[in-house]
Structure formats: structure tokens, C-alpha cells
Structure 1
Amino acid sequence: MAAAAPPPLPFRTYEEYLEAQVTARDLRYLESEAVGRQLVELGVCGSGDVLRRQEFEARAAAAAGPAAATPQKSLASTGKEIKDNFLRALAEREEANRTGKISSIIFIRDRNSHHQEVSAYIDYAHRLRTDDFEVYFSGKKRLFPRNTDLSFYNWDRNVSTSTSSPNYQVIAENACGLLFKNKSDRKIINVDPKAYPGDNTTRTPVETDLYLHVVIYDHIIRRGT
């Protein structure tokens, strides 16, 4: 009888696997997360029983095997008659965000049902996994800011929330303003319109009739950088 395959690892990259074993206590004595990852790999920090990169990648490939053979679900935007610029922009980015080639952050500012001005930075890839986007692309509902998005602000009530997602860590208290750190390649996205958005990141304002203000930040993920 063939030996059972090892269980899949709950990490997308080897760096993420190492980083998960660096404790808050370790970080107090280390220069950076990068140093922490190196020490975990060497067995100095963490449990000491650490997979080598080749072992990790072999297990990841084995786990991806059956999934790769499964037919991919059609895109939510497929077959939809899309006229608005914003929805067209989302449709153009849907496949790349679903496959992890690009990680887009959507800024939306508009008025809610109480006529209060609200805005949010939305992790597009995360929303694609949790929302039914067919209703958005078909025009039945609007993609709208939520207080569970990366950063949410109610301008009338002066209420703000910050929530990290599976793809981004929110860095709210920073001299440079609001920042988002991509968890895959650890690059920083700066959403200040007057600042450089970051390595491998572009900022695209979108003219739309659906909202007061829309900007899309596209971050191309570089694995192993």
C-alpha cells in the first residue's frame, strides 16, 4: 500500500512558512523579519524541526496536483455586458487576482444609504473569494465599502477601522501615512496620491458614474524577492 501523502501546508510561500515561526518575543531582539526567517531556517529560532525549501516546495507541488487537475470555475465577469469603466477595470483584473499574479487594492469613496460619505481600501482578491461578483458585474448590486475592509472611514461620523486581510497587513500608525504590506513578497504599497506607490505597484484613477471617487492600486507579486 502506498504511503499517505503528507497534509498540505497552510502557507503560500516558503518565506511565509518561516515567518509564521518567528514570535513577537524574537522580533524584539532581532533587526527585522528577514533576520528572523533566516534564523528559523537555520534552526536557531522556532521549533527547530524546519522543512528545507526543497521539501516545502515538493509538498506544495504535491498538494497542488489534484487542484490543478480540477477544471477552473469560469470568471464572474464572463458573458456579462459591462459598460461602466470601473466594472470593466475589475473584469480586466479578475483572472490575475484570482490566480495571484496581481494583488489589487481598490479605493472607493461614495455615500451610503444614510447619505454619509464613506470610503475604504478593499483587497480585491480577498473579496473575490468571499463575495459573489456575478451580482456586481451584472449590475444587480454595487461593490461597496465595509468596515471589515483593509481600511474603512466614515467621513461624517469620523469613525475609522483597519483590518488586515489574508493578502495584506495594514500599517496604520506610520509617519508616511497609511501603508499596506503584501504578505507574499513583503513589499509596501503607499496609497498617498503624492507619494511613490511602491515597487511593482501602479496607481490608476478610474472615471466612473457609480461612485464619487475610485482608484485602483495594482501590485505585481514577485515570488521569492
Structure 2
Amino acid sequence: MEESSSSDCLGEIVKNFSTYEDYLDSQIRPIDLFYLEDRNMARQLLELGSLGNSFKREEFETMKAAEAPRLASRNQQKKLASAGKELKDNFLRALAEREEANRSGKMASIIFISCNNSRGQEISGYIDYSHRLKTEDFEPYFSGKKRLMPRPTDLSYYNWVAEPKCNDSLNYEVLTENINGMLFRNKKDSKILDVDPEASPGHGYVQTPVQSDLYVQVVIYDHIFSKAGSSSSAPLYN
């Protein structure tokens, strides 16, 4: 009975987390990071069982592999929000091009948007596209009923008349101590994105400016995960 309960618990974990690293991150407490000051070290200690981790990598990956065919079938049946839409703007086409990969976890794109809100105020921010796809219905955006805008709950949000905001997301940590500006660290492989326009975006990232009639400026930063966990070049959309 106890073994069955443990299996059920692991089954729920496999459903809720794409990778073993994501599961480990969910077990890391703020006090662990305070003392260790290193997320990768906290992961290693959890994997070794020093911080109370219940499941081993082999157990997680074995069940994940068993679940893969069912999950793939379910994902194929799920209609993309962009499917069948007439997309007239470059930005919407760029989002549609990346939708499936961001939903499935093969890609983790960050979108920079600068625009004017309904009050005529200039706002800008960085959006974790995958995070938004998982927590919001994108059909109105692809249908042209709504315009995708930065929010105070996104990775970063700047409004000329309000205090700037920054937040970690499902996929990224915000690093604000860099002297040259904000950085984003991917939680899956710890690769860092530098959004300084004068610098390289960093290993594993592709920066794509997008011309759009809907916004003042749009830049998309793509980070693609291969099966081996490495990154490759992302498709560009100009």
C-alpha cells in the first residue's frame, strides 16, 4: 500500500514537472539558497538526499519515459491557439511560429515589447512567452481581439509613471546585480541571457528583432533545448 502511494506521488510529480531539474527547483527553499548561494549546489544536495529529496533521477526519468507516448498524443490533440488564424502582423506570425515549441518545453522564448498603453503612456517589459502560454488564453491575441502587453507580473515591467517591477517566472530568474543591466538565467540549464543591445545575448540564445505595426519595438530572444540538453540555433522571423 505504501509502495502504491509513493508511485502515485511520483506520477503526479512527473505530470507537473517537465524535467528532473524543475522538480528539484520546486524543493529548494529560500533558506537553502540563502546559505548555499548557488542553485546548482542546492540541486546536487537534493539529488544526493542531503536536503530531504524523496525521488531519485532514475525513478523520475523512467516514469517520464513511460508517460511520454500518452503526453505526446494529448499534445497532438490539443489545438494551438494560433491554428487557423489569419495573422497579418509580423509579430503575431513570429509568436505562432514559436507557440508549439514554447508549449512543449523545447524552447523558452523571452519577448521584449515597447509600446503605448490605452492612456498613451509608454510602457515596456520582458515577457516569458512559455509562462504566459501556460497561464493565459492566447486565442484573443491571435484573433486580433487583444494586444499582448507587458504586465507588472512579467519578468520586467517599466512604465514612465510607475515604479519598475521585476519577477522570476516559471522558466527564468531575474538577475539585477549586473552593472550593465538586467540578465535572465534559465532555470533548466542555468544559461544566462544578456539583453544589452550592445552585447551578445549569450551562449544558446538567438536575438531576433521583429518589425510590427502593433508596437514601437519588439525583440524576441529564443533559447532552444535539444534532447541532450544543449541549445541550437532558433528560426528567425524578420
Shorter-chain TM-score tier: 0.7 to 0.9
Q: Which residue of 2 aligns with 1:74?
A: 79
The separation in 1 between residues aligned to 2:20 and 2:196, in whole angstroms, is 31
The separation in 2 between residues aligned to 1:224 and 1:96, in whole angstroms, is 15
Provide the secondary structure at the position in 1 that maps to 2:221. strand
CA contact (8 A) 1:123 1:165 kept: yes
Provide the secondary structure at the position in 2 that maps to 1:103. coil
After superposition, give the CA deviation of every residue in 1:27-70 in whole Å (9 maximum; x if it has no partner): 45547333333333333x201x5433211212333455543443
CA contact (8 A) 1:184 1:221 kept: no
Provide the secondary structure at the position in 2 that maps to 1:80. coil
Equivalent pairs, count? 222
User: 1:29–1:79: structure 2 CA closer, same or farther, 3 Å change rule?
Assistant: closer
CA contact (8 A) 2:18 2:105 kept: no
- Which AA in structure 1 matches 2:198? K
Residues 28-37 or 74-83, more deviating: 28-37
- Which AA in structure 2 matches 1:51? F
The separation in 2 between residues aligned to 1:134 and 1:37, in whole angstroms, is 37
Alignment counterpart, residue 41 of structure 2, candidates 12, 28, 35:
35
Choose between structure 1 and 2: higher helix proportion: 2
> Is 1:11 aligned to residue 17 of structure 2?
yes
Q: Which residue of 2 aligns with 1:195?
A: 199
- Which AA in structure 2 matches 1:6? D
Q: Percent identity?
A: 56
Provide the secondary structure at the position in 2 that maps to 1:102. coil
The separation in 1 between residues aligned to 2:40 and 2:17, in whole angstroms, is 17
Unaligned runs of 5+ in 1: none
Q: Which residue of 2 aligns with 1:97?
A: 102
CA contact (8 A) 1:98 1:128 kept: yes
The separation in 2 between residues aligned to 1:87 and 1:68, in whole angstroms, is 25
The separation in 1 between residues aligned to 2:32 and 2:149, in whole angstroms, is 39
The separation in 2 between residues aligned to 1:127 and 1:75, in whole angstroms, is 14
Q: Which residue of 1 aligns with 2:151?
A: 146
CA contact (8 A) 1:191 1:197 kept: yes
CA contact (8 A) 1:12 1:184 kept: no
The separation in 2 between residues aligned to 1:69 and 1:79, in whole angstroms, is 20
- Which AA in structure 2 matches 1:42? L
Following superposition, the deviation at residue 170 of structure 1 comes to 1.2
Following superposition, the deviation at residue 19 of structure 1 comes to 4.1
Following superposition, the deviation at residue 86 of structure 1 comes to 0.8
- Which AA in structure 1 matches 2:222? D
The separation in 2 between residues aligned to 1:142 and 1:18, in whole angstroms, is 35
User: 1:55–1:112: structure 2 CA closer, same or farther, 3 Å change rule?
Assistant: same
- Which AA in structure 1 matches 2:192? I
After superposition, give the CA deviation of every residue in 1:142-183 in whole Å (9 maximum; x if it has no partner): 11111111100002x152001111111111232241111111
- Which AA in structure 2 matches 1:61? A
TM-score between the two structures when normalised by the length of structure 2: 0.82
- Which AA in structure 2 matches 1:124? Y
TM-score between the two structures when normalised by the length of structure 1: 0.86
**Cα RMSD (Å):** 2.5
Instruction: Map 1:16-165 to 2 at 5 A.
Output: 16-27=22-33, 30=36, 32-43=38-49, 45-47=50-52, 50-64=54-68, 66-70=70-74, 71-155=76-160, 157-165=161-169
> Is 1:175 aligned to residue 179 of structure 2?
yes
The separation in 2 between residues aligned to 1:27 and 1:129, in whole angstroms, is 26
- Which AA in structure 1 matches 2:194? N
Residues 175-184 or 211-220, more deviating: 175-184
- Which AA in structure 1 matches 2:132? R
